Amino acid sequence: MNSGCSLQCSPTGVTAVLAMVGLGLLASSAHAAVLTKSQQMCVTTMEKDLGKVDKQVVRQVATCLKNNAKGRPLVPQIPFIDDMDWCTEQDPLGKINLFETRTVADFNLRCLAPPTGQNPDGFPSFGVTTAMRVNQEANAIMPVLANDIWGADLDTGVLAKEATNPAGAKCQAKVWKAVTKCEQTRVKEFEKCTKTGVKGTNPQIDSSADLRDVCLGVGAAGQADPKKKIEKKCTNPTKGIQKFVEGSCGGQSLVNLFPRCNTNSPAGLANCLDDKAACRVCLAINRATGTTRDCELFDDGLANQSCACGNGILNAGEQCDDGNNDSGDGCTKSCLLEIG
């Protein structure tokens, strides 16, 4: 007589069902994120804040360069400021500080356990350092990148004044804008990669090493770019930096306008500028998130000291290297010893 009992009514059936359930749980746990939801929120929020502060610095540096090129006061609201390096490194109107304050508030709220914050699971085991470090790195990328392109002293570099070389000024402004779009895309794509990975989406990110390898690549491999957005803004010859070089710099000496790249080839200049942007993004992400990507290989695939200053290693031409690009700590952002 059939009592309506199915396979799982027998001892063998029960064992089979439990085994299947167990396998299901194992499969589920294999894709479960190591960081809790609240810890994920801490990591991803800090990366968003890195991008937001960086965006404000991009605007500040762009304003300095634009006004300099047109022969205007660098900061119209404060007309006596005439130092390009000061203008690119400071926050004369306090706009950057508003976002830095938000970084600190977000860190306290999302990353710290009660009663200081609202993270019930405590500080994440990887992916974040401190709010101060995030703000410092976001502030450093663009000013140091400008020095990478034009030299340690922007005032004595070749930034063109409109009165003497309007075409050169236009070239520099357009190309710089393209470089900043490339840089910001790299920061944004790292943020997106982290967000999906820490949630357990393939490839899953369970550690700082995973974060480094999945989102920044391994060895000479490039940064994760699943939708080709980095390629579009950085390396594509008809859409990226090279497009702006060719479209805005005709008849100009690229060597004079971008001396640290030392090439008159539009393609060569575009590659150089992308490498420099990649270097600064890599170093900033390493310090802000605690990852350990080899930025020497990340920027151009070569161990050629192209991403040297700020990597914590004393390379040729450096007087010091304390592992950051902050001035005022005994070693300048250009890896020269500070006096006093």
Which pLDDT score, from 0 to 100, does residue 338 have?
78
Domain coverage including residue 166: 37-300
Instruction: Output the CA–CA distances (angstroms, integers) from residue 291 to 74, 184, 216, 243, in the order listed.
Output: 36, 19, 9, 33
Instruction: Tell whether 82 is covered by a domain.
Output: yes
Distances (CA, A) of 136 to 98, 223, 284: 14, 22, 9
Q: Please report which residue ranges of the chain form alpha helices under DSSP H.
A: 11-30, 37-69, 84-89, 95-111, 131-150, 166-198, 208-216, 229-230, 241-248, 254-257, 266-289, 295-300
Alpha-helical regions (H) of 199-260: 208-216, 229-230, 241-248, 254-257
Question: What domain count does the chain have?
Answer: 1
Predicted pLDDT of residue 268: 97
Distance CA 276, CA 186 (A): 12
Residue 194 within any structural domain of the chain: yes
| pLDDT value for 281 | 97
Q: Which of 150, 141, 159, 164 is nearest to 65 (CA)?
A: 159
Residue 160 in domain: yes
CA pair distance 128, 107, nearest whole angstrom:
10
| Residue 32, pLDDT score | 54
Residue 28: per-residue pLDDT: 40
Residue 296: count of CB within 10 angstroms of its CB: 21
The phi and psi torsions of 38 (rounded to 5 degrees) equal -70, -35
**Phi, psi (deg, nearest 5) at residue 337:** -70, 135
Query: Which DSSP string corresponds to 267-278?
Result: HHHHHHHHHHHH
Does any domain span residue 187?
yes
Q: Supply φ then ψ for residue 108, to 5 degrees.
A: -60, -40
Residue 1: inside a domain, yes or no? no
Rg (CA), the chain: 24
6 in any annotated domain = no
The parts of the chain modelled with pLDDT lower than 50 are: 1-31
Q: Which two tokens stand for residue 248?
A: 């805005």
25 is a domain residue: no
pLDDT of residue 21: 39
Residue 66 covered by a domain: yes
Residue 115 class from Cβ within 10 Å (0-12 exposed, 13-18 middle, 19+ buried)? exposed
> What pairs with residue 337 in β-bridges?
331
